[in-house]
Structure 1
Amino acid sequence: MNGSQYIWILSGNLLKNVAVNKKAVQSSQGHSFGDAGKAVDGIKDGRFIKQSCTITKEESNPWWRVDLETVYKITAVTITNSDGFPDRLDGAEIWIGSSDETNDNKNIRCAAISHIPGDQTVYFPCSFGEGRYVTVLLPGEQRILTLCEVEVFSADYAYPLPNVALKGEATQSSTFSFAAASKAIDGRRNTIYSNGFCSHTAGNEADPWWKVDLRRTHIVTSVKITNRGDCCAERLDGAEIRIGNSLENNGNNNPRCASISHITAGKTITFHCDGGSMEGRFVNVIIPGNRKILTLCEVEVYAAPAVEPLLNVALQKPATQSTFFLLEIASNAVSGCKSGLSLEGCCSTTLLQYYPYWRVDLLAMHKISAVTIINRQDGNHLWLQGAEIKIRNTLSSLGFTLHTCGTVPKVVDSREHTFHCGDVEGRYVTVTIPKLWQILSLCEVQVFASPTVPEVITPSLPTPPPPPSVGKLLGGRNVMVVGERLCWSDALFFCRRHHWDLLRLRSLEEQREVEQLLITSPFPLTHHVWLGLRRYIMGDRWFWMSGESMKFKHWRRDTAPHRYASPCGGMAGGEPYLWGDRPCGEHLSFICQSGAEVGAQRVQFYSFNKATSQAT
């Protein structure tokens, strides 16, 4: 190397799709060609007319599951959606576990699917679990589940989940003597209190609590509690573990993960949350009741940071290659065609030459997690043999960083190859064969990544006028009724972009004031309006997307909708203004709020769907 002209880094790993051709089952079969095995046949063709997709009957909570036959360390799952019915997958969840029971509390939720565009593939990082079964569950009534391909990638280099509490910050309701809250996350399971490694609240306190702030939202799979060993083991009886993103009541109003009936003196017990893994930044242990003492000798939280699903950012981006053969030009490999057939215009091919290459410009720096290359399926598949995937930040010969994400094996025996790139940053992805007299041919390149800097958007049309709205001050917040009609997820993003979040109601008084606001609206509203109500997919619990606790409730029949209902909630637009579940894709008016309580952490939600509205 001469000076600092460039840096060369080997950073990738070839991933193995352990789901291909494995046994798959589903809750029902809605068409003769829509059997469960179509989602693991190795064909990522999202065109429904090609009959390579699964389909269930219309039913409550349809599901699909693949048996990997053994337990794997899973690093990612990809889902390819159908072009004809792209909205069917909205709201589905991906679960991983060693049990084929849907509600097993040891199952781990890899991701929630807000939306996947038709005939596109989305990459879901979930390198925090082991399992034999991967399940896609679609909650709600009268739903149809369609999947065109499910890929499950394992990697030998995956590591067990870390105890993220070690890097957290602990607090408690009070402190006795030297037994600070931090003693419960010092990494020591020393159970003798006098040795100085246990936390301890002051004596005879009402509802004593202990909390660890994980500093960012995590997917928590298990919590380990070590009890005091020298006395008083019964003090922990009846304690509750709570996990969430809200700091209301010091986090003690967050959803309950599990209850502690009893832990033997000096022992450590592992708790899995009811219904599977839970998402949150704060983990609390609280003992309800008067005259209580809370002592913890160690709290371990095994979790992974919550991550967003990744789109194929190479789709339709500018592509070039060293030479081209007939009509097999570079742009064919980023056209979205995944059949691997040249006659369908899917493949790019160079001439016979020295060091042939193909390159895509992502137009901005990205953090690249994985690259998938689809090989030819009409012969000449060896023209990809030995190709290397390289990522670089600039095309300049000076000051560039070059990462090698992976190399296609010499024996090309699979339809496609996926490489884990370790979240390296770069703008250009190049596929090259570093040999003399070679032909390079490939039929689709997918780059799963997130932008490292905001994309530059050139305005082309005048900004449309804002939708009709009316508002008032409510409990220190500005509350705004919006007349535009959007689906639930689009309404959420509208409120988060222009205000703070969809509305959360704290009391009957606030409910009545909002009812009056709806009555006096100067513009027509829909029969229901969206609120920030959302249900946990694997259970009956509802929560506010603003991260605040749900103390006040106003459900129909005084009962929250059960787990078979839609996970999106709103309020009736007329008497008696009761809350209820509504289909998430329904276009309704909605109510935004300008802010939340101090310390509230909004629940993360992702969607790749472009907002659409209906005229009022």
Structure 2
Amino acid sequence: MGSCSATTAQSDPWWKVDLGRNYKINAVIITGKDQHPLNGVEIWVDASKTPNVTSFRCGVIPVFGEPLSGYLSCNGAEGQFVRLLLPGANLKLELCEVQVYSTDFAYPQPNVAVKGRAVQSSTLYPAEAHRAIDGRRDTFYTEGSCSHTAPQSDPWWRVDLGQPFIVSNVKVTNRGDCCADRLDGAQIRIGNSLKNNGNDNPWCTNVTHIPLGNTFTFTCKSTGTTGRYVNLLLSGEMRILTLCEVEVYADPAVEALSNIANYKPALQSSTKKVWDVFSFLDAGAHKVVQTCRTHRFDKLCCSQTHTWRNPWWRVDLGAPYRVSAVVLHNRHDCCSSYIIGAQIRIGNSRTIGQNPVCSTITNADLKQTFYCSEMEGQYVSVNIKEITTLTFCRVEVYGSRVDRGPAVHLVGGRLCWSDALFYCRRHHWDLLSVQSHDEQTQVEQLIAKSVYPLSENVWLGLRRELMGMRWFWMSGEALTFNQWRLFPPLFPNPCGGVGRTDGLWSPLSCAEHNNFLCQSAPAQSSTKVYYYSSKMPRV
């Protein structure tokens, strides 16, 4: 209750956030409240405080599911203000959370806790552990969405995520009707051990205080915290642990992969040569992708540019890879702070600034690991957007080769069919087409392995002619294989998806909000079908 905002009942209520500067907005996620459904809410991106003709409407969320949360892609619309508008008379706009993601990020990480299994040290019936991962942020105990232990020494709560994940952050929602201080001092621990019920796993951070009914986000003190189990431990005698929601946002952990950057061709914007007694020491770009592991410049293991505007370094992996992680070794002899502010980018363009950002370096640690969520690209670069020197001593890149066929991406957001099409065409290549039994099997396996809850159907690039019965793929390939649940497909729904549980195809209303599948490349000799929508930019 205390973590939500609300307007009075009025005509066209609105809510707006000032981001502080212009951003290119990738996506907006909003969460509403049961009593005031947000059917018909519009999401706008404004360049100025006063909406005008340059304002961009990302779209409308017509129907909310359970929990009341909706996602809309904004396709890189640029602006400083994100505005939510609920058109109509005598309406009340109530919001419990708004999340805004810039284009430097892919689709926001999923909350993997909702598919986990929760246990706790004791239970004050009926407030069992699983209530804290039901996807609802209801904060009144009587609403049946909070866990509660009995009074005891050192109570704990744990969620098993099912497999190791690289945890970015943990969101904790406190009780809203009383007892806000009960969570004070709780430890968040993350790891792969069940020793002492998981309470001996590495410490992530502490919960200092969460006000009544609020949701706070906690980030681990060490980068790249990995584990299968997330614990909340409350040390002390006769303590009570009450949690109204625990959300864990994470990527699957990096498997054992080889360093694919070793001895690959590397370039940099310029090369510094330093005179050392009898000769020049070469600080070329190739130095940091060899086997040398020292952190000293005089051991001929480090690269260094001249002091110049926007210095950069780049390695060519020789082919597209799905990059799981980049490890960077900093200099130890001096100049370690030079790396702060550098961006690590991955993509298929030789132009540094055109590739997406994996991470920004924020400290001068000797060795840092950056997790890139299997970003695809042939080139990995490090660049700084200022006048400075770029220098470091080793770069390791871990990933797997992209198959010759198009990579398939299951997207965690739920969009209507046309918005899903635009999302895929912006971020990948197109909505997925399925051409054989083998590809159908791969789709079913990918859906079955999803780490987050999926809609009953998942969008494909299937579309029916508006004035006929012929179905076709938006990617331009011929419909030579089908897996229809009923054949011929029932009229009149013109958009197609695959069933989450049985893998069969069905014609669906294009307005449904479903997860969807994107493909990264076309088949040979295919030309994707042009599509135009009045509310979205042309693609």
Normalised TM-score (structure 2):
0.32
TM-score by length of 1: 0.28
Structure number with larger C-alpha Rg: 1
Higher relative contact order (CA 8 A, sep 6+): 1
